[in-house]
Structure 1
């Protein structure tokens, strides 16, 4: 009988032809690698079938377990030689690790059957409990459940805004609608809520409330049967009543950014403005010096997130219910100097950017600081009032400075912690540390431009960027 040889172990391996050639009533044996690991037995039956068994001898006792029927031809059912060997190898591993193979397999079957019974019992109990409760949540309960589901996944300010809308817009003005069952709410009810907001000329607010209500109903549609939910309210929704309400208000894209002259003037003037605290001043400039980072993403990080020796800040980009994305920010000498100045103001604070040394700076503090400066005599530039802007406009300003320097959009987006979408980015290019060489190139080029601006150079009038129509 022909056999294959495994040159590594010198085991005699059977071929498909060897097994097919077995006379009826005869057997062929193929040993497992190693001593005491068992063997695979092939037995030819009178019916023409060839059964495969795993046999092992332990503690003087021989155990034989059927693996299956050998697949003699492509048209026949059964297991291939490779599949039989794989199963035999698994059984051999059980024998080596657990000893009694039959007992181990029996215990596994019992555990699986027990788990199935427990799941069926738990499911039956859940159905009984649901039938006993027989209660559909109200619109107010649905909205509260939606807010509660955001804890730990969305920013504090966003959740505060939702609670404010619930109490001041929905409950205060439309309690009857809020008391209705969630599945009985109609588009007419939604219009009744939104129309007064629109009529008082708060069109942007009307759009926001519409978005909040739409998302709350989407939450109810998609999460009623989620295993992760703590609150087991029943909504029984079939559709989203907000979907048929058109988005009548279109938010205008914000385009305000500071030109070179404005940024130079604001930077030097803001440093001299004593009506704003020194930490707030330096924080706003630090965000600019780091290429326009997100306010809350930086504000919430303690000193332990900073590696000043390597010049790196580790932040987390949090959005929705997905896992936070690590974002590493390279720190230039200018950024580190601002950090050191903040530390000298609050040396014992857990957070570098804190006004009281106990908790991170409030995001609204920056907006208030900018508004104060704009309304002060210091904001007058060349005899004219400084055009209003917000801290977010500084982030846009940084992006445009990088455009002037010829920095690729992708590199600029990575530095500013914009999400880079796509399967490759999600599953392969997802190591934040691997972006650091590119981030250092980006921040160094940005720092060169920022340094030119703060020294009086006007990028908008640079010879490189002059055009006849300007």
Structure 2
């Protein structure tokens, strides 16, 4: 509360010299020897000066105080913004990462973390975020392109763009330097789908190889369930309802953080039960061979399938291509694309359709997967009787 009152101001008399009375919070009343009374605001930085507010009584005491209070609020906001602008890029990036990590799978978050540490922080981690320029972004991305990793360059630029959008929203900076940096986008490489003869050849070779039987089972289930490796190999027995014959993949394991239910065929149930002799007392269906508290490495099946089969590498096939293979064949067999896309846990590109399409087609998918399972089981049986 100020020291002055309106009545006191009215009663103040002129003197031989001008004089000032302090009301508080930098507000002063200047009384001149002529008798005029003027409100002043004292500002101490960058140098001590008095700014005229207005003459009394045209400007009331309450209005003068409000003017000074508003100036102080703006000053505090500017100083707060300066503090934020002075934050290091790495500090803001960590806050951004904490804000988005719940939206993605552990594997996706791991990739972001590795990229932050290896590809981004060594270049701009210690710079004030408002000082990062387009040239900094270009020099950061250029090594990725030069080492033949254009896809990673695109991803890193995307993460940088998200970080700067977050920074702008939180007053850490005013511009996004990634907007003026172009990255050559590589052509999209869709997973190669095998035809009937190629799939049969793969199983004939793989099932008669010296690969451990547990790896063969894992490979079969990867084909039968149409799941991604990270979704299948992190499966726990608690995720499987053997009575209802379903596998529930929690949102934390799914690429788009949406839970997924997979109907299990008779053959799939049989294989999951067979895995118990290898998993022992581990909670994982596919435990790590040296640590039962961890799941099998996601690269185990990839290495086993590809390492001795150059013809598959020539086709640019990897076990992820089982999803494309099953999708292609099931479409050829006449199954509706909605059912197939739901089994693959794909989101509709049509946002309106995706919003209203809540059907999971569980019964139709069960019928479809049983037919697919019978086809795969027949291939495996013919390969293993040799």
Matched residues in 2 for 1:273 and 1:144: separation?
A: 47
Q: 1:147 to 1:368 in 2, by over 3 A?
A: farther
Task: Assess if the C-alpha contact under 8 Å between 2:96 and 2:166 holds in 1.
Answer: yes
Task: Assess if the C-alpha contact under 8 Å between 2:246 and 2:262 holds in 1.
Answer: yes
Matched residues in 2 for 1:171 and 1:407: separation?
A: 48
Q: Deviation of residue 353 (structure 1)?
A: 1.8
Is residue 227 of structure 2 the alignment partner of residue 301 of structure 1?
Answer: no
Q: Deviation of residue 294 (structure 1)?
A: 2.1
Corresponding position of 2:293: 358
Matched residues in 2 for 1:151 and 1:369: separation?
A: 32
Matched residues in 1 for 2:153 and 2:354: separation?
A: 36
Question: Post-superposition, which runs of at least 4 consecutive aligned residues in structure 1 deviate over 6 A?
Answer: 319-322
Q: Deviations over 1:40-73 (max 9, x none)?
A: xxxxxxxxxxxxxxxxxxxxxxxxxxxxxxxxxx
Corresponding position of 1:15: none
Q: Deviation of residue 320 (structure 1)?
A: 9.7
Q: Deviation of residue 405 (structure 1)?
A: 0.9
Task: Assess if the C-alpha contact under 8 Å between 2:284 and 2:294 holds in 1.
Answer: yes
Q: Deviation of residue 286 (structure 1)?
A: 0.2
Is residue 341 of structure 2 the alignment partner of residue 413 of structure 1?
Answer: yes
Q: Secondary structure at the match of 2:275?
A: helix
Task: Assess if the C-alpha contact under 8 Å between 2:284 and 2:293 holds in 1.
Answer: yes
Q: Deviation of residue 313 (structure 1)?
A: 0.8
Q: Secondary structure at the match of 1:179?
A: coil
Corresponding position of 2:42: none
Which of 68, 93, 96 lines up with 1:143 in the alignment?
Answer: 93
Matched residues in 2 for 1:453 and 1:296: separation?
A: 25
Corresponding position of 1:395: 323
Matched residues in 2 for 1:317 and 1:203: separation?
A: 29
Corresponding position of 1:268: 204
Taking CA–CA contacts closer than 8 Å with sequence separation of 6 or more, which of the two structures ends up with the larger relative contact order?
Answer: 2
Matched residues in 2 for 1:401 and 1:417: separation?
A: 17
Corresponding position of 2:190: 254
Task: Assess if the C-alpha contact under 8 Å between 1:299 and 1:361 holds in 2.
Answer: yes
Q: 1:423 to 1:255 in 2, by over 3 A?
A: closer
Q: 1:301 to 1:133 in 2, by over 3 A?
A: farther
Matched residues in 2 for 1:374 and 1:443: separation?
A: 28
Q: Secondary structure at the match of 2:249?
A: strand
Corresponding position of 2:373: 447
Corresponding position of 1:334: 267
Q: Deviations over 1:142-176 (max 9, x none)?
A: 2222333344432333333223323333333x2xx
Q: Deviations over 1:204-246 (max 9, x none)?
A: 3322322222222233334x3xxxxxxxxx51x3332112222
Q: 1:206 to 1:386 in 2, by over 3 A?
A: closer
Q: Secondary structure at the match of 2:125?
A: helix
Q: Deviation of residue 451 (structure 1)?
A: 4.8
Q: 1:278 to 1:143 in 2, by over 3 A?
A: farther
Corresponding position of 1:367: 302
Corresponding position of 1:121: none
Alignment TM-score, normalising by the size of structure 1 = 0.57
Task: Assess if the C-alpha contact under 8 Å between 1:204 and 1:251 holds in 2.
Answer: no
Which of 154, 158, 165 lines up with 2:108 in the alignment?
Answer: 158
Tell me how large the CA RMSD over aligned residues is: 3.3
Q: Deviation of residue 134 (structure 1)?
A: 2.5
Matched residues in 2 for 1:317 and 1:400: separation?
A: 26
Moved more, 141-150 or 348-357: 141-150
For residues 3-402 of structure 1, the aligned pairs below 5 Å read 131=80, 134-136=83-85, 137-172=87-122, 174=123, 177-222=124-169, 224=170, 235=172, 237-274=173-210, 276-290=211-225, 292-318=226-252, 324-355=257-288, 356-374=291-309, 387-402=315-330
Task: Assess if the C-alpha contact under 8 Å between 1:401 and 1:449 holds in 2.
Answer: no
Q: Secondary structure at the match of 2:370?
A: helix
Matched residues in 2 for 1:319 and 1:242: separation?
A: 31
Matched residues in 2 for 1:390 and 1:443: separation?
A: 21
Q: 1:396 to 1:359 in 2, by over 3 A?
A: same
Q: 1:315 to 1:372 in 2, by over 3 A?
A: same
Q: Deviation of residue 398 (structure 1)?
A: 1.0
Q: Deviation of residue 190 (structure 1)?
A: 0.8
Q: Deviation of residue 423 (structure 1)?
A: 4.6
Q: 1:247 to 1:423 in 2, by over 3 A?
A: same
Q: 1:440 to 1:217 in 2, by over 3 A?
A: same
